[in-house]
Amino acid sequence: MQGLCCTGVSLAGVCRQGKVWISVFRSVQNARRASYWRKPVSSFFFCSTINYQLSTIDYQLRIMTNAILTFDLGGTNLKYGIGAMDGNIFYHGSRESGGKGEIAALTALFEQAAGEMQAIARKKRLKLAAAGVGTPGAVDADKGVVFGSSPNVPSVVGIPLKEILEKAVGLPVVVDNDANLATLGEAVVGGGKGYKSVLGLTLGTGVGGGFVQDGKLFRGDHGSALEAGHITIAINGRMCNCGKRGHLEAYASGSAIVQRANELTSELGSHHPHKFTKTKPVFAAAEEGYPPAVLAIEEAVQGLAAGIASLINTFDPGCIVIGGGVMFGMIQHWAELKKLTAEMVVDSLTGKTPILPAELGNMAGMVGAVIAARDKLGIRG
């Protein structure tokens, strides 16, 4: 699955190119001169001259423009793309990652995806300057090493991932946590654009988080900050994927919602039991009034509200941005989510922190990886 989204050359990028502006000026002057001397066919000639000159400028811009490869590694898919300096992704694709496999197979996948994009870049006269990579797990962003655990892609833990990927794609690589990068993308060009600080939550199979202040990610001393899925919202509560109890992820993640809906189906002894395997049918069943699904979603909304309120009380962010696959179901329960959150936020922050849906969809991580690589390596257009 792949496609070209747009030209990928922003107006801001054009503005930065002094040479191009001179070229634009000369083109217009030449065109005006041409239209003056060829007055009888001026209108047509003027337009065609301009078009020709603009296509020449476009060509010049393309051979002068840096671009960044971007990768978003997940347990199911490796998403990848080519991004412009403003984070705009103008080519993207996806391959099955076989997340539990060996690192050698994963490296080969990166090589293949990079090869595909290098061919596109040559065709479009783009100069590839770096690659940004988002991965599950806590990341030491300076060393480019994943530490702790990464249940969905275990082979990336404890190896020199940055070095391995630099060899695979033939470019300088910046590695960071996927939820961190999704928050960075949303903060700079997505739902949180314009806010001084943005706290992002990604509701997927698990729950990830990130915090961006003044366009920069907050990482903590060990690179493990904002593991927001593992803040405790219930003492001795449900078992989390990490092996500890009562964490947000055990209530508001996609896997938790599915598991809870199935548990409640058994407990409530429904006459027409559903067996859920994905989140979307749970939301649909709740809409139809199926009691186990209604209860599972209610518990997820309550858990999410508790998590958001704790994060607002701790970080005082300008806004909360919520993304990930589960967000699309949660959007129907937004008013309830905001009401419950408000009940748990301290008085000094009441009504001050908007809770917003993400705007970049499943591209947020890839956009963030482009921005992270651009800023860390000081790449300009």
Residues that bind Zn ion (CB under 5 A): 230, 240, 242, 244, 247
CA–CA dist 138, 153 (Å, integer): 12
CA–CA dist 31, 45 (Å, integer): 8
Q: Report the residue closest to Zn ion, judged by CB.
A: 240
User: Shortest gap between Cβ of 154 and Zn ion (angstroms)?
Assistant: 16
Pick between residue 244 and residue 339 the one whose CB is nearest to Zn ion: 244
Pick between residue 27 and residue 150 the one whose CB is nearest to Zn ion: 150
User: Shortest gap between Cβ of 244 and Zn ion (angstroms)?
Assistant: 5
Provide CB contacts within 8 A for 273, sequence distance 6+.
265, 266
Torsion of CA 310, 314, 315, 316, to 10 degrees: 80
User: Shortest gap between Cβ of 314 and Zn ion (angstroms)?
Assistant: 17
User: Shortest gap between Cβ of 240 and Zn ion (angstroms)?
Assistant: 3
Torsion of CA 29, 31, 32, 36, to 10 degrees: 140
CA–CA dist 350, 272 (Å, integer): 43
Q: What is the DSSP string of 324-358?
A: STTHHHHGGGHHHHHHHHHHHS-GGGTT---EEE-
CA–CA dist 342, 232 (Å, integer): 19
User: Shortest gap between Cβ of 230 and Zn ion (angstroms)?
Assistant: 4
Pick between residue 217 and residue 248 the one whose CB is nearest to Zn ion: 248
Pick between residue 79 and residue 247 the one whose CB is nearest to Zn ion: 247
Q: Judging by beta carbons within 10 Å of its beta carbon (0-12, 13-18, 19+), is residue 350 exposed, middle or buried?
A: exposed
Pick between residue 86 and residue 299 the one whose CB is nearest to Zn ion: 299
Q: What is the DSSP string of 44-76?
A: HHHHHHHHHHHHHHHHHHHHH-EEEEEEEE-SS
> In this structure, what are the phi and psi dihedrals at residue 236, rounded to the nearest 5 degrees?
55, 35
User: Shortest gap between Cβ of 107 and Zn ion (angstroms)?
Assistant: 29
Pick between residue 83 and residue 208 the one whose CB is nearest to Zn ion: 208
Pick between residue 138 and residue 174 the one whose CB is nearest to Zn ion: 138
Cβ distance 48 to 122 under 8 Å?
A: no
User: Shortest gap between Cβ of 100 and Zn ion (angstroms)?
Assistant: 20
User: Shortest gap between Cβ of 169 and Zn ion (angstroms)?
Assistant: 32
Pick between residue 117 and residue 157 the one whose CB is nearest to Zn ion: 157
Angle between helices 334-344 and 291-315 (to 10 degrees): 50
Cβ distance 117 to 69 under 8 Å?
A: yes
